[in-house]
Structure 1
Amino acid sequence: MSLLLPKQVCKHNSHLSKGIFWGQHKTHVFKSWKSICAPWEEGGFQVKELTDWNRTVLLKWLWTLDKNAGAIWTSWVSKYFLTSCSVWELEAKAHYPESLRGLLRVRTECVEQLGSIQAVKLLLQHCTVRGCFSITKAYDNIRHKYPVKPVFRAIHRGTMVPRHRIITMLAVEGRLATIDKLTHRGMYLVNRCCLCKQAEESTAHLFFKCPFTSTLLGCIKAWTRMNTGTIQLQDLLLWTHKRARRKHWRNKWISCSLGCLVSEIWHERNLRIFEGRERTHQVLLSNIQFTVSTLLLHVVSEQVYIDVIEALNN
């Protein structure tokens, strides 16, 4: 049986999770916690929000009591507490066990949120798959939703490591902490791109209007045989997503290279600002090729292994 977690426990857990994305000081937050908890297709990082997930698990036990599914805890509650009424009519009392009182509290909150008991029953019925309650489907129904965008789906279905995927997602949304964003929030900084030292720094400039990054993009296009003339990050990801439907290993090659390229550019930018170190195009290109080759050789099948090695070495 699952228990309804105290609010302070959920709040402390969320505080620790937020520190991973925002840091300990949270001076400048570029993405809300609700959007971080959204799925990849909606621009989130697919992190479970503990409060909603805890309520979802308790909804499963509400479903078992309503259906009398036969679990040991369900049989015990039905025998001693539901002899004269249903779980929808039962009122919480102080001498009831904490597990039952927490379940009744969640039931009351759902009824108040949806408007009626019948609406909650319809929700439970909607989350029933082949005679079993689906916690995943229930969580998807109670969480906060954002619009699904093709570019987010392209990032999610592309062959990228999680770190590259997160940075690419923030770059597409324009939420990276570039100098123009920081000055807009009140920080007094000289807005100058540290890569080309010519134009002002912004997300659009870094990907890929900057001469330094556009040259690097051209090298990646030549290496991966990308036959597209677009230089905008979002268009490149959408173009890759359309090709990915063919399920060829070369599409994984291109998708992985784009994610690694975005991550390396952002890493190089931070190295120059915070550590005063600079790397050349050749060094960055070698790092990208090594990372992509290592990942690609782990995801392709044995039948095309030799073809992949020959393509990567050319």
Structure 2
Amino acid sequence: MNPGRLSPTMYNLMIDKIQGAIQHWSCNFLSYARKLQLINAVVFGLENFWCSALLLPLYVTRMVNKLCKDFFWGIIAGQRKMSYKSWNSICAPWGEGGFNVKELLSWNKALLSKWVWQLTTHRDCLWDSWSRTYNFKGKSIWEGHALTCHGESWRDIIKVKDALLELAGSKNAAFSMLNSCVSHGKFMVGRAYSLFRQCRPKLRWTIPLWSDSILPKHRICVIQAVQHQLATVDNINRRGLMLVNRCCLCMVAQESHRHLFFRCSFSQQVRRNMLAWLGVSGSSSDIDIKNYLYKINAGNKCNSWRNILSGCSVAGMVYAIWEERNNRLFGEIQATPEMVASKLQSILKIRLSDNQHPRIRQWLDFTN
């Protein structure tokens, strides 16, 4: 409604609401999965109201990203905890090794591109007719330019149109890009988002982790483990905080990602118990997690029941081993490999009970 340029103080309402919600959540002990759920559901719910009408300034997007990043990694006594993954990589989809958080600037442009598409389709509605008559003087939106008489929203729509032209290179190519985001007459903002964000190559080892049957906290933990981004002692020592490096599970070797999840005798025993429970032939020999996921994916389709079952098991094993390590390190609570495997089997049975795949249902009936 403001005919002039918006001042920085006008965005304080959105920032204050996000900051208030984050400060309220920070008093709780939340896992990374729950933090991501709150960021995606609540924070982006507040942002979507603004992003659907305005192109947020860069300083606003940086402020919101900083608030979300600090909340995700946690701040204790005003000091930020160690972060092992950049916010840009966190905003990547699961298939690209990220945590599937929307990148704010690209999502903002994708939401505004819906209005560009609506103006190019010449729909018979009052808003389109008024826009073409008074804002573009009968011209096409591709020929329109931002004028001082235009409001902030119209200038932002023109900026997104210019960004599309820069990506596509021509009017026809930009129009084809917008049409590729349409399904059954509706504009899909999710498809437009992939046009603006910086896409990375798909990682084949993530395919077994795409199933909805995998618990989010398990998926996040195994992605961090594959990328060596967990707070193991060797990672902490590389960042300048020197600790005695000894695996708290076997009390023999030094702790690292490669040792903790596959070389450690405790982890090998957990893996042997899980392989026996799954009825899968295999050994507990030294093998990297990424290579193990490659091996699972070899010859299987993305939605095959073997991929779903194996992905749930591997992600669950990595999380269970990491949880047992933390319990021994901070809680002085110890469990045997059999107890860890038994607890994980109970969790997987409950989680897979909602899966309607006939082979998985048959396998669950057999294990019960």
Does the CA-based 8 Å contact 2:313-2:348 persist in structure 1? yes
What is the CA deviation profile of residues 86-143 of structure 1, one whole-angstrom value per residue up to 9, with x for unaligned ones?
Answer: 3233332333233212212333444456666566445335445566543222211211
Does the CA-based 8 Å contact 2:208-2:310 persist in structure 1? no
CA drift of 1:218 comes to: 0.8
Q: Determine the C-alpha separation between the residues in 2 that align with 1:49 and 1:248.
A: 31
Match of 2:252 in 1: 198
Match of 1:11 in 2: 62
Does the CA-based 8 Å contact 2:168-2:177 persist in structure 1? no
CA drift of 1:298 comes to: 2.0
What is the CA deviation profile of residues 151-180 of structure 1, one whole-angstrom value per residue up to 9, with x for unaligned ones?
Answer: 012222474111101111111111112111
Residues 79 and 157 (structure 1 numbering): CA distance in 2 closer, same or farther, change over 3 Å? same
Match of 1:221 in 2: 275
Match of 1:278 in 2: 334
Does the CA-based 8 Å contact 1:158-1:256 persist in structure 2? no
Does the CA-based 8 Å contact 1:261-1:288 persist in structure 2? yes
Q: Determine the C-alpha separation between the residues in 2 that align with 1:83 and 1:62.
A: 16
Task: Give the TM-score of the pair, scaled to structure 1.
Answer: 0.87
Match of 2:129 in 1: 75
Q: Point out where structure 2 has 5 or more consecutive residues left out of the alignment.
A: 1-48
Aligned letter for 1:138? A
Does the CA-based 8 Å contact 2:211-2:308 persist in structure 1? no
Q: Determine the C-alpha separation between the residues in 2 that align with 1:187 and 1:44.
A: 27
Residues 52 and 275 (structure 1 numbering): CA distance in 2 closer, same or farther, change over 3 Å? same
Say which SS state the counterpart of residue 88 (structure 1) adopts: helix
Task: Give the TM-score of the pair, scaled to structure 2.
Answer: 0.75
Aligned CA RMSD, in angstroms, stands at: 2.9
Residues 149-298 of structure 1: pairs in structure 2 closer than 5 A: 149-157=203-211, 159-229=213-283, 231-232=286-287, 233-242=289-298, 244-245=300-301, 249=305, 252-298=308-354
Say which SS state the counterpart of residue 298 (structure 1) adopts: coil
Say which SS state the counterpart of residue 245 (structure 2) adopts: coil
* Aligned mate of 2:73, from 14, 22, 29: 22
Q: Point out where structure 1 has 5 or more consecutive residues left out of the alignment.
A: none
Aligned letter for 1:4? L
Residues 170 and 200 (structure 1 numbering): CA distance in 2 closer, same or farther, change over 3 Å? same
Q: Determine the C-alpha separation between the residues in 2 that align with 1:228 and 1:157.
A: 23
Number of equivalenced pairs? 312
Does the CA-based 8 Å contact 2:53-2:112 persist in structure 1? yes
Tell me the percent identity.
34
Deviation larger for 178-187 or 82-91: 82-91
Aligned letter for 2:68? S
CA drift of 1:10 comes to: 3.0
Residues 196 and 309 (structure 1 numbering): CA distance in 2 closer, same or farther, change over 3 Å? same
